[in-house]
Structure 1
């Protein structure tokens, strides 16, 4: 029996010129009006197949080695040996993610460019000039304590600045193995963006894929020989240039590598070489474009043939630490849900959203004075996905909207979730349209209610609604999931009671409303609230018995490092307001000069396009720079 979805009244036409221009740019469909449509909640959209079972630890983090102290621990004191306990606020944030998905903890990858230039303190090997970040036993003990507290398993990236694997072997043998329990290690990652090694001066000109695969093989064999069997491995973590041509050859040539990792960022946030276009909340909502991730399908097919899994090893809303006013706003929460569901649909095993606490795209931020952590909108997006999946046994499919999928120009997306264990089904609506206000949906459940295994014969199934909302698209606070918020939380626990909105069935029909710029999940079943099932993490392993950390006291401000996103100008601008008119005149002159340079550069970059920018705007992708780089549309790019 087909299921019908009908919208309420047409949304009022937004008459502003800005909205009409967005329509012309194909961010929303040209007609821009939401109208009556048909949705198939019972099976996928035409010409698609459901995903496989989604791993309940699908949603995870990626943290740079440079941020172990402040992202997982109490602050920068750990690096000097002051304190190696984990931050209880962050532990609670991880626990809430686990609670939402039946107790399965998120994974945590520790790596990035900082791994390439990692230096193990106490090493007896010659220190290389680019080995600028030291890691000591204290930081590894933070990871150990954190893993024991949360049950999370770690992916650890080893140094590869030198082709000689002795550096990676020493780090594992002298550092990781003595300080971190094997049970807490999900995989050892070899390589981080090797397709950027030459560009970053880490390998000589002409460095190739074949050069890297030889290095990878040598490193893999040396590590296995040094630490023995029983560990899984991950790689190659391409940034983007090699993904198209060399990911499948890598998979086929490295069958011992369990997890095949790639990096993917939404939009470019800082690279002046390939991003002349501004990242805004509205352009972020246009990402990902429909079918942008179809290239993952072939990777998964080849990997699964060798009993390997494809993973999203690192990513965020925009690259290079994110974009202020975008990556730290509610737009990033919507992007997070949208992108994670796209990845799950493509059978990506697990994901690692970049989570360094001092970056704009981080799921939580650090107050350098108090050491307190505060969840950002991205965290809410991660939590929303876990509450949609609810645990093991979920598969994802495209719920047809308007006779096909995403026919409203990527502005309203509908996903279906089927839980094979309980028979529950969930309709997820991602409302990204700037041209429509609140929209009413009516859904007919396609099966007999007896198919729901978590319902007794006397129970009448209901619709349980989970809402992810905020006051505005650019809001940094006020984000809620079913009215719960982490704003002003001092311990990592939410403020407010978790309350699901219940929709009573009218026959087999459920009606609900979705506000503009929000995400709603309607779950049809008989189990209210959070999942009753739970996962028991390993027992806490005290790494320093008798030591009691003191929380809430000021910590020293972390020193600046190459990965810190907060620019000196932003931190000190307020000190110079008194300069007054002179500064304003100077700023105006600089702005005019910069505008002229950008205009000249954009004209140069658009040289391959025969018509002026304004005349071909409607035919171009919402990310104009994608037309100028063959990799960016499918693979994103420059990262931390």
Structure 2
């Protein structure tokens, strides 16, 4: 069996092999990219890949099956451990509990007696669910963000839930934040018109009430969970995130939501042209321009963060044949790099058991399938590795023969630099349906790199973009077998990789297969740059 990737790279740095100049293979089409030691982007926290689950799905996700409040589903715990294990002991996924169920929530153990339950609050949250979350956190170390309703005009209901429902049942050390509300720009529970001024007037009352409820703790707030501009007849408030951050300094985490494509909602406009092709084309140039570098930098200087509090491929539960396919895997892999490069601190993948979720759980048995998007999350965490000083960058690309059909929005090149172990990883996301051929990627890494590298891949069986199973990460799979798509949470098979070599100038050529993710890992000698 081959040595591990880390060992190979360390040996390459200690004992560099001088190779003669030779002709490198040529591809058509071909991309050429270069890297310099100064090419650093924002640092990426180890908790960047996080999760989001509805209050209504807590028992389904973490109970032992058939509605049990007993903790915990062992397969789900193993799948979470996979993500955390790839970070080598660093802080792993943070689980946000909330969503539409938070908007409509009513705590069944409410101690408020002076006010009746508002008609809008139709989704009961039991104390048993809260205790299950407390046991989950205590037994695994998983940290939580807990979303409370902001729909009732009076914040006393949420204040009561935090004081008497959450804090007595979940150790505060496992609570990252209390989130206030969910997608206020979509509050169709309100009577129109519902303006930004209406919202901020209400959130001031909630801010005061929840700060009082949390006074004995150091737990901060998260919000406003604005969801975007992709729905007709609804307000677009994304450009108000800086204003919100300025007006509400108690909110340490400034959150927004984003889905790649529009799904089918009875109360919103349905999908018009949502297809695999349109999903792979997301994001379009300019779609993420609301994430302004100056705003992100200002938040970080204030020890605050911009987070994607909820997101996935297709909204409103997804669409069968699109959001549950390998197309969603490729979309998610690229979107993770897109957001991390812009300084977003967390990407909370939303849901269980809908068409876009990382997990699909049988409510009767508790059996779990890993969703297509889970593979993208596992890829990102394996590449990150958990070090404190991991940064992401965009290699400088020379599109030397773009006339042969390379689409810069569909074949993306990213880089991850780890100053701890001296590695640089180049990631090629090939999601171009119109370029169904191998693309040669020439990496001009320079003389300060190891002469050998390792190539790993995220792929589907025979490059099937519409497949709903048959995915592999570094040659490993999660399914128990070809006729059993459930999983025990453990990776099956030995990890696979390919060895590649550079020329004497430190130039590598790797093959990016169509509709896949290809990764080149090389070592960097940090002392070389000073010579």
Q: Give the TM-score normalised by structure 1.
A: 0.71
Structure 1 residues 397-406 or 248-257, which shifts more? 397-406
Shift of 1:50: 4.1
Corresponding residue number in structure 2 for 1:498:
495
Partner of 1:279: 274
User: For 1:195-594, what aligned pairs fall within 5 Å after superposition?
Assistant: 195-197=185-187, 200-201=188-189, 203-228=190-215, 229-240=217-228, 241-271=235-265, 273-297=268-292, 298-355=294-351, 357-392=352-387, 393-402=389-398, 408-436=407-435, 437-449=437-449, 462-471=452-461, 472-488=464-480, 490-507=487-504, 508-525=506-523
**Deviant stretches of 4+, over 4 Å:** 403-407
Q: Quick one: structure 1 residues 176 and 55, their matched pair in 2 at CA, closer, same or farther if it must change by over 3 Å?
A: same
Specify whether residues 423 and 290 from structure 1 end up closer, same or farther in structure 2 by C-alpha distance, changes over 3 A only: farther
Q: Secondary structure at the match of 1:498?
A: coil
Q: Report the RMSD for the aligned CA atoms in angstroms.
A: 2.4
- Match runs of 1:27-176 below 5 Å: 34=29, 36-42=30-36, 50-78=40-68, 83-104=69-90, 105-125=92-112, 126-176=116-166
Question: Does the 8 A contact of 2:310 with 2:349 survive in 1?
Answer: yes
Normalized per residue, the structure richer in strand is: 2
Would the aligned equivalents of 2:370 and 2:487 in 1 still touch at CA under 8 Å?
Answer: no
Separation of aligned partners in 2, 1:418 and 1:291: 26
2: CA distance between counterparts of 1:211 and 1:504? 61
Question: Is the 8 Å Cα contact of residues 416 and 426 (structure 2) preserved in structure 1?
Answer: yes
Q: Distance in 1 between matches of 2:397 and 2:239?
A: 34
Which residue of structure 1 aligns with residue 3 of structure 2? none
CA contact (8 A) 2:262 2:314 kept: yes
Say which SS state the counterpart of residue 398 (structure 2) adopts. coil
- CA offsets 1:196-252 (integer angstroms, 9 cap, x no match): 22xx22x23232212222221221221222231411110000122343442221111
SS in 1 for 2:42: coil
Secondary structure of the structure 2 residue equivalent to 1:315: strand
In the alignment, structure 1 segments of 5+ residues that lack a partner are: 11-33, 450-459, 528-640
- What's the CA shift for 1:383? 0.7
1:156/1:441 Cα in 2 relative to 1: closer, same or farther (>3 Å)?
A: same
* Distance in structure 1 (CA, Å) of the matches to 2:524 and 2:128: 48
How far does residue 161 in structure 1 lie from its aligned partner after superposition?
Answer: 2.4
Preserved CA contact (<8 Å) 1:239 1:263 = yes
Q: CA deviation at 1:402?
A: 2.7
1:189 to 1:423, Cα distance in 2 relative to 1, 3 A: same
Q: Deviations over 1:305-346 (max 9, x none)?
A: 543211001111011011111111100110011101000000
- Which residue of 181, 184, 197 corresponds with 1:194? 184
* CA 379–185 in structure 1, closer or farther in 2 if over 3 Å, else same: same
* 1:304 CA drift (Å): 3.4
TM-score (norm 2): 0.84
How much does 1:7 deviate? 7.3
Give the aligned partner of residue 573 of structure 1: none
Deviation of 1:351 (Å): 1.2
Change (3 A) 1:148 1:446: farther
CA distance 1:253–1:89, shift in 2 (3 Å)? same
The answer as to whether partners of 2:25 and 2:509 remain within 8 angstroms in 1 is: no
Closer/same/farther in 2, CA of residues 486 and 37 from structure 1, 3 Å limit: closer
Q: Is the 8 A contact 1:84 1:138 kept in 2?
A: no
For this pair of structures, how many residues does the alignment match?
A: 477
Deviation string for 1:93-129 (max 9, x for gaps)? 1111111222331111111010111111121432221
Cα-to-partner distance string for 1:485-530 (whole Å, 9 max, x where unaligned): 1112542111112233332444334332221000011110399xxx
Change (3 A) 1:490 1:304: closer
